[in-house]
Each structure stands twice: as C-alpha cells, then as structure tokens.
Structure 1
Amino acid sequence: MRNICMIVSYDGTSYSGFQTQVNQETIQDVIEDKLQRITGEKIKIISSGRTDAGVHARAQVFNFHTNSSIPTKRWCLAINDWLPKDIVVRAAYDVPLDFHARKWAKSKTYVYSINNHRYKDVFKQKYQLHYPTFLNTDEMKLALEHIVGEHDFTSFCSLKSDKSSHIRTIQRADLEVYNPSEFENRIDITITGNGFLRQMVRIIVGTLIEIGAGKRKSEDMKIILAAKDRLKAGSTALSDGLTLWEVHYKVSEMKML
C-alpha cells in the first residue's frame, strides 16, 4: 500500500466546489474518476480542505491510498492525460502512510484579486472581481491590520457554517496594488491563516470593498469582529476573484512549487 500526495491547480469556474456534492460536478469527482480509470481501484481522495463553487486553486493538496505500482515521476503525466484542461496536477509525491492532507496542514494562503480598472480584462476576468470605481486602498490596508491574530470570526463566516468554533488565527493579511500601465490596476489581498471558515475570505473582502468605497471606516473592521454577528459585516464578494494559493506543511517534501 502506498500513500500518494498530489498538488493540483484548477479553474473552479465550471465546478460546484472541490468537495463531492450530490448531483453536482466537483473537482473531487473528476479527479477520483480519472484515478479509478488509471489504477482500476475505487479511489477516495483526502483534500487539505474544500473550496466553494467558482473558487480557484493554484496549489490545492490531496492524498490517496493505492496499491498501484506507477512510478512517482509518472503520476502527473498519467493523470493529466485524462483530466480536462481546467484541472492540472503539478506534482506528486510518495508520502508516509499516515500523511493526511487536511490534518497535517499548518496553514493556508488565499489571494483575492480585484480589477479596479474602468474596464474588464478579457483575459483575466474569470479570476478577478471587476470593481470599476475608486477604492481607497490605504483605508483597506488599515482595516486588514485588525484581523491579524487570533479572533472569533463569527461576523465573517456564512450563517450556514457547521463549525463548533469560529476562532481562527490570521498570520498575515496584506494588500498590494499593481498598476504597471494605464491598462491595468489590480488589487491583490493575501491572507494566511491556520484555518478558514465557510466564505470567510470572501466576506472579509466584501467588507474591505465597502471600506475602500467610503461606505465604512477602517476602524469599523475591529467593531465588526467584536460583534460576532454576520449581519454586521459586508456582503460576500463573488467567488471569481478567490484563489487558494498555497497550503503550508512542515514536511519538507510538501513544499509548494
């Protein structure tokens, strides 16, 4: 028996999230189907976590157990020949039998991208939220400072959350602006934490946009956190702009590419 770990990138536009759902096409379903074709085994993969419908991933991590003798260096070629063009396995490793993609993960990094230019970018519009009016990024940066550290993020998670605790630790929350030419003005919000609640990043971003647009003040972020009330936060930003960027492990072999 072997335990294989893979790093996969995907465009989540056409899928109902990563995790299997009844009567919905998901990334997990597609990958498991292709692995079964390759190995002849009924494969069940374990991911580092689920991503919602329409959310993308640069480096999602999953593992599965198999009796297949396919050499490690051949796994990527073997499965990518079967996968659709919006899903690509980027790396494969043999890992200890007890490795668990979710339980061994120490933290995750998400990036939310906003196109703050007047016009949409035809080549990147599936991966950005288009917000064509001015955003005060200085105020947004100040607001982000309030979410760093350990907090109860009840105000920033879906009312459908099934988690018993909403306490999470955010280790990093940055905002960078890229405007290399008159044709691009992009805002990237990067958040790293030890765990994320359902729609947490998207609600944080939706609130930041309201702050940037002058509808709220940067210090309101602290007040919203303390309220522990979803209705106090902003709207949920669209899934288009959100990408699971990296999953962090202590095991050296799991270093992201």
Structure 2
Amino acid sequence: MSAKNPRPIERYFQIIEIVAASRDGLTLAEISQIANLPKPSAHRLVKALQELDVLVSDETWYKKFRIGPYMRRILQLCVEPEKEVAFAQMTVDRLAAELGETAYVVRMEHDSIRSIARSAPDQGHRLHVLPGEVLPAHAAASAKAILAFQDEATVARFLTPPLDALTPLTKTDVEAVKAEFAQVRETDFAICDREIDENVRAYACPVHIEAIGVIHAVGVTGPVTRLGQHDHDHWIAPMKQAADTLAAMLATLKPA
C-alpha cells in the first residue's frame, strides 16, 4: 500500500483486511482508529462496502462489522481446488452407490457452470456430465439449481439470447427460464427433463454454504425410463442430504 496519499481503492482494501483479521468484528470507531482514518471517512467507506455486501453489521447499539457474503463468495472461489474436488468426489461416490445412478457435482465459475466430479455405477448412465464439462445454463438441472440463487446481473450474464434449443423440450425464452428459477427457489431442487437429451432426465439440489450462498450443486442423472420409475422425492431426499454434507465440508476450506 502507498505510504502517502493512498488511493481510494487502497483504503477500501485496508478496511477489508482489518475487518477480516478480526475474530469478533470491529466497531466503526475501531476501524477508524486502526486504519488511521477520520471517522467520517471511515463511515463513508464502510457504508459503501456494506451496500456491496462486502461487509455486514449486527444490530447492536455499537455495531460491529464483519466480512459479508459477497467477500466470502470471492474467497470461496479461491479455495484449494484439490480438496474441493476430493470432497465433491467423496459426495458423488456415496450418492451414486446409494441411488444406483450417475451422481455429479458442478461449480459456478465466472462464465460457466462446470462439472468437477462424477461417479457412475455399473448400471449408471455414463454419457453425460463428465468432469470438466460445461453445462448449459438454461437447460441443465445443476445450472438451474445454482443460477436460481444468483443476482440479476449474474443471471443476465449466463442467459444471453439466443438460448439454444437442444431438444424440442428445451426452454429458449429467458423469462420462461427465470420463471423456472423462481420455482427452484421454492422447492430447493431443479429438474432437467429431456431438455439436453431426449432420453435423459436429471435432478439437482443447490449446495447452500452459510454466508456465501450457492456456487455448487449436486445432481443425479440417468435414462428417463429408469428415473421415471420413482417419484421426485426418491431422488431429491438423498441429494439434499448429500448437498448439506458437501456444504459442511466446503465451508472448512481456506483460500489457497
């Protein structure tokens, strides 16, 4: 950081660093003192960071400020990739063994929804969701499970018309896809019913990480003829449990 006349961006990062280093949060007066800033300047900078969800505060008289969900999401994107994939693989191995179908985990990156782990039992459907594969944002169950919980700007970045009609059942209208996202938020799971392949169905559940939000999803896929033999809950209940377990594991990871 510049010793003299720090730029505004440096002051913002100084405050973020100070708050991140505190275990129990800091009051505005403490931030002002540690950062060597006049209290009005500290207030202005902290308020701007609050508006972006970089910082949050409690509701006590002497508010204490802590790292907010937006900053935590940035840090989550920097976690150790080997451990993230190991946790994801552990999750899909258990889920595939339990359900007898292909299970997978995907992760949201800046411009794509990408598979990071997959497990296919002998009778599983092996033709889809290979590790590293990019999933169509408007059609894949796992992409819907993630994007349903993103802000408007992120959704707009992923749903740029024209949306490809991968099968006759693919939704290609942005508003129709957004309407499905609203349903995902209510049920906490998503479905891809022959929207990518006319013979394939998939279910997915979002992975909710406290204070970060959703950037992962757990999914199960297979032929419609097999997945259609059971009701939704047969697939969703184990997936939700797997998603909760994965969330707990991912929450332990630190930035690389």
Short-chain TM bin: under 0.3
The TM-score, its normalising length taken from structure 2, stands at 0.24
Higher relative contact order (CA 8 A, sep 6+): 1
Question: Which structure has more strand as a fraction of its residues?
Answer: 1
Determine which structure has the larger helix proportion and give its number.
2
- Is the radius of gyration larger for structure 1 or structure 2? 2
Structure 1 length as normaliser, TM-score? 0.24
